[in-house]
Amino acid sequence: MMRRLCLLLLLVLSAATAVALNADVQAYRLTAEAAALIRAQRYAEAMRRLDEAAALDGIYDITRTQIDAGRIRAAIGLGDYMLARSLYTAARVGSPDEEADDMLRLIGGELCFSIGDYERALAVADSVTATGYIPQAAAQRVRALTMLGRTADAVAAADAAMKGIPDSSPARAPLLQNRGYALWEAGRAAEAAADLRRATALIPPGTDRCNILGNLALAESHAGHHTAAIRAADEAVAGLPAGTPDGLAARRKRAEVLLRAGRRADASASFRRFFRSERDALLAALPAMPPAMRLNYWCREKPLLSRCFALGDADADFLYDVALFRRQTSLLGMRDTMRLQQLLSADAGSVRRSLPRGHAAVEFVSYEPERGRTAYAAIVLPKRGRARFVPLFADDDLHEPETVGSNSLYNAVRRESRAEKNLLYADSLWGERVWRQVLDVLPPGTTDIWFAPEGIFHLWGIENMPFRGRDALRLRRVSSTAVIGEAASGSASRGRALVVGGLDYNAVCADTAAGTGNSEAFDMMLTRTGRPGRFSYLRGTLAEADSIGRTLPAGAADVCHDMPEATLKAIMPAYDIVHIATHGYSLSFGMRRRPEFMADSVAVDRSLLLSGLALSGANAGYDPVRGEDGLLSAREICDLDLGGVDFVILSACRTAVGDISDEGAAGLVRGLKMAGVRSVMATLWEVDDMSAMLFMQAFHRALGAGAGAREAYLEAQRRLRCEPVRIPYRRFSPATMAREQTVSIKEVPPFNEPYHWAPFILIEQ
């Protein structure tokens, strides 16, 4: 009897082992398929395979860890960093041993690189102790140091890590590669090329080797080794399929190498092929791309497309098409995919057809005509005739002292000084430098110039600058010249308005709207400033909101003095016009660049968390019960569906600015445009309470009288600059210790200084 029981138990155990083994084999197969899909950057398919593997019962712990690792990588590739973070946290909790935990730590380091948290990536690399992962951790450490600008430390760390590793060992390859990138970033291109050359010799043929070859080609080119650069670029192109992201990057790098080698015609043809493939690939992939992945595409591809501009005026019509396309990539978060595809397909021909007679389009661009030197240009498209590529100035010129009084243009743009703003917007020097060169290539009789800003122009109201012939022109700012047809024919909405002002930032709000909420904006403010926000009460915004409410037709506006964050998110989509008078903030305000070796890497656009609006209860901080932190960041606005909102007016300080790179301005305006808002009015610096209120009153009166947004904007500027203001008030009587019944009139001179009327900019579409 006992023998039979033992035999039966053995059979049961054998069957269970077979089932577990079968499940593990199936999980291993799915994980291997997913790994191949991740290498091909087909992250959604990879995630489906891994989810299927994760659902299997009875698989071994090590296999479970491999599945978790793959899911984290797929989530990073999809740009879903919140999912990646939660998967990483869960995987670490269930990690079977220290070695598996170190593998997960390194993947967590990849996540840190993706979100731009290089300090954390460095800490993760330093925490790895398992012998098998030490070289990988060392390579990650070198990369983190380079991203932090510590190139000398990065080179020293790579040298230390390579001691004891044989010259022929593949373990040296990632260290050589990352040391090469550090040397490249330090401007030591020849040494960088030597390291990258040695790294490729240690890596077997495949995608990884070809990607390094593409960067080797650029490093060789920067070192002046053009023959070697072209040879490396050709090998990279030959090893990568044309339609893949890696293949596109290799072809773009080859075009850059050809241009530096002086083969302009070949470079132009190569850039054209790269651009067509890039556009076709995006249009094909767009319907299936999740919003987060679209945002990361924008962050990666827009600066890469900028490389085409080095071709200059010889190919200006093509470059205008490139400028249009790359401009639209900043709006990839739009929910209306059909609308987005239409914008991405726009070209010089369609814009010309939409231009009214006497109008012209200008796409301002920033680019690198040579390594380490950024320049600005205007690509000018008249109604008839060829486009022109007009170089304007180098980035260094922005920092030249004593061009705005005793200061540089860059400092005058960034600082809040009233005197410097008045000097900047009253001096024709820079207005001539920008607009005269544009006018010189336009046909006589041009009356309207539609322009899309770039780089410094996001922080600078160039439409308000003086120059010869300014009074005969209408300068019209748009998010992209692809929308000129709609902007020229459209008019301001006459629908229902939401007017917000006079908020209590100390209130502890009980939100009436249900929402998931988050504390990302609050956390970012703590990280950047070391303390929660402290916003003072703005008495002028109460008067502004009430006075605007009185200018609008009865029943046409809802005026609110209490606006919790979740409530605004819930009700904002229902209005045609939204006017918000409150504190705006921008935690980072200036220009930045990414290292060239990182140009093809995905990076989340965390800069959208650096700008926002303070709403009711903002000083109370984050409360999980309330679910919100009272700070509406530009990133949170991206997640709203505001496609039905015609016009948003941000009567707050510095709502048009943010962190600027050649990818664009990361601020509230971009968040609103990505959410679908048609037109936006925002401010470039801290506005004066009285002049802002008078400007907005005049604007809404003109709007209510039937004027379009552009006409109302110009009328408000004119009134502020030219007309004295009559303010009714009642005198205080010391005899009665009360105010008199008789109303007196106080006349205030016009606010004719640029500091008062020039901070407001109108983005018409």
User: pLDDT tens-digit profile of 13-38?
Assistant: 444 444 445 777 888 888 888 888 88
Side chain identity, residue 465: M
In angstroms, the CA 724 to CA 178 distance is 64
Q: Which two tokens stand for residue 559?
A: 């005026």
In angstroms, the CA 473 to CA 442 distance is 12
- Return the bridge partners of 359, or none: 448
Q: What percent of the chain has pLDDT over 70?
A: 84
How confident is residue 196, by pLDDT bands cut at 50, 70 and 90? very high
Q: Which helix (H) or strand (E) holds 251?
A: helix 245-260
| Per-residue pLDDT, 598 | 38
How confident is residue 291, by pLDDT bands cut at 50, 70 and 90? low
**How is 514-577 classified by DSSP, letter by letter?**
------HHHHHHHHHHSS-------HHHHHHHHHHHHHSPTTSEEEES---HHHHHHHGGG-SE
pLDDT digits (tens, 9 = 90+) for 358-390: 999 999 998 888 766 889 999 999 998 899 999
How confident is residue 290, by pLDDT bands cut at 50, 70 and 90? low
| Per-residue pLDDT, 658 | 60
CB atoms within 10 A of CB 641: 13
pLDDT digits (tens, 9 = 90+) for 563-615: 999 899 999 999 999 999 998 887 765 545 544 433 434 344 566 777 889 99
CB 734 within 8 A of CB 449: no
With tokens 């909101």, the residue in question is 545
Residues comprising the chain, all counted:
765
**Which of 158-162, 444-448, 480-484, 730-734 is predicted with the least confidence, judged by mean pLDDT?**
730-734
| Per-residue pLDDT, 727 | 67
| Cα of 654 vs its chain's centroid, Å | 17
In angstroms, the CA 154 to CA 174 distance is 13
pLDDT digits (tens, 9 = 90+) for 65-91: 888 888 988 888 776 777 888 888 888
Q: Which two tokens stand for residue 681?
A: 């009015």
In angstroms, the CA 455 to CA 424 distance is 18
**How is 398-466 classified by DSSP, letter by letter?**
HT-TTSBTTB-HHHHHH---HHHHHHHHH-HHHHIIIIIHHHTTSPTT--EEEEE--GGGGTS-GGG--
In angstroms, the CA 368 to CA 376 distance is 9
**Which of 202-206, 345-349, 731-735 is predicted with the least confidence, judged by mean pLDDT?**
731-735
pTM of the model: 0.78
In angstroms, the CA 48 to CA 30 distance is 9
* Helices 61-78 and 2-39, packing angle to 10 deg: 20
CB 548 within 8 A of CB 700: yes
In angstroms, the CA 394 to CA 366 distance is 9
In angstroms, the CA 308 to CA 338 distance is 27
109, 115, 135, 197 from 162: Cα distances, Å: 21, 28, 8, 16
pLDDT digits (tens, 9 = 90+) for 158-188: 999 999 889 888 889 999 999 999 998 898 9
With tokens 């730590």, the residue in question is 105
Report strand pairing: 577-581 vs 590-591.
unpaired
| Per-residue pLDDT, 448 | 93
Q: Which two tokens stand for residue 4?
A: 């039979």
| Per-residue pLDDT, 360 | 95
**Nearest residue to 543 via CA among 654, 689, 655:** 689
In angstroms, the CA 245 to CA 514 distance is 40
- Return the bridge partners of 760, or none: 683
**Nearest residue to 501 via CA among 552, 536, 540:** 540
Kindly report the average pLDDT of the chain as a whole number.
Answer: 82
Query: Quick one: how many helices (H) and strands (E) in the chain?
Result: 32, 21
| Per-residue pLDDT, 602 | 38
- The residue that leads in pLDDT, 279 or 285, is 279
| Per-residue pLDDT, 18 | 46
| Per-residue pLDDT, 235 | 94
* pLDDT over threshold 50, residue 247: yes
| Per-residue pLDDT, 350 | 92
| Per-residue pLDDT, 479 | 85
**How is 180-241 classified by DSSP, letter by letter?**
HHHHHHTT-HHHHHHHHHHHHHTS-SSHHHHHHHHHHHHHHHHTT-HHHHHHHHHHHHHTS-
| Per-residue pLDDT, 338 | 76
How confident is residue 465, by pLDDT bands cut at 50, 70 and 90? very high
Give phi and psi for 708, each to the nearest 5. Answer: -75, 170
Report strand pairing: 647-651 vs 679-683.
parallel
In angstroms, the CA 51 to CA 35 distance is 13
H-assigned helices in 286-387 = 291-305, 316-328, 337-344, 348-354
pLDDT digits (tens, 9 = 90+) for 429-439: 899 999 999 99
- The residue that leads in pLDDT, 233 or 509, is 233
**Which of 150-154, 335-339, 504-508, 598-602 is predicted with the least confidence, judged by mean pLDDT?**
598-602
- Return the bridge partners of 380, or none: 362, 388
In angstroms, the CA 558 to CA 539 distance is 19
- The residue that leads in pLDDT, 127 or 657, is 127
Distance linking the first and last C-alpha atoms of the chain: 86
With a CB cutoff of 8 Å and minimum separation 6, the contacts of 620 are: 506, 507, 508, 509, 630
Give phi and psi for 450, each to the nearest 5. Answer: -90, 125
CB 669 within 8 A of CB 682: yes
Q: Which helix (H) or strand (E) holds 746?
A: strand 744-748
CB 169 within 8 A of CB 193: no
Q: Which two tokens stand for residue 495?
A: 């629908």
353, 569, 630 from 18: Cα distances, Å: 70, 54, 56
* pLDDT over threshold 70, residue 92: yes
* pLDDT over threshold 70, residue 205: yes
Side chain identity, residue 562: D
Q: Which helix (H) or strand (E) holds 715?
A: helix 709-722
* Mean pLDDT confidence for 402-429: 87
In angstroms, the CA 134 to CA 100 distance is 13
**Nearest residue to 54 via CA among 79, 26, 82:** 26
**How is 316-343 classified by DSSP, letter by letter?**
HHHHHHHHHHHHHGGGTT-S-HHHHHHH
In angstroms, the CA 245 to CA 261 distance is 25
| Per-residue pLDDT, 364 | 94
In angstroms, the CA 464 to CA 461 distance is 6
Q: Taking the CA atoms of the chain, what radius of gyration do you get in angstroms?
A: 29
193, 301, 302, 480, 674 from 328: Cα distances, Å: 35, 11, 9, 7, 10
* Mean pLDDT confidence for 440-461: 90
19, 161, 294, 412 from 416: Cα distances, Å: 70, 48, 34, 8
- The residue that leads in pLDDT, 676 or 648, is 648
